[in-house]
Amino acid sequence: MALHYFHLSNDTVILDAIGVELSDLKSVRLEAVRALRELLSLRENDGLWAGDPWKVWVTDEPSDGGQTILTLQLTAG
């Protein structure tokens, strides 16, 4: 198990300093999709439909440090 840090970006950037302990890349992918789905359900989607990309990226160190393990980006037009 290793700590993975999930950062979010839409009209603002939210950097994860706590992390989530996950065992493998499949678990990281599932958690990233869940995080993006939650972001969509909690926020106004106007910026997304204006073409502003929303992004979830995962690093191996807190606050956007270290290596990026995975990036998901969602854009609608």
Q: State how far the alpha carbon of 37 is from the alpha carbons of 17, 26, 40, 65, 72, in Å.
A: 20, 17, 5, 24, 11
Model confidence at 17: pLDDT above 70: yes
* pLDDT of res. 57: 96
DSSP string, 8-54: EESSSEE--SS-EEESSHHHHHHHHHHHHHHHHHHS--HHHHTT--E
* pLDDT of res. 44: 63
Task: Report pTM.
Answer: 0.86
Average pLDDT of the residues in 8-31: 93
Written as one letter, the residue type at 16 is D
Written as one letter, the residue type at 43 is R
- Domain range summary for the chain, segments of one domain joined by +: 2-74
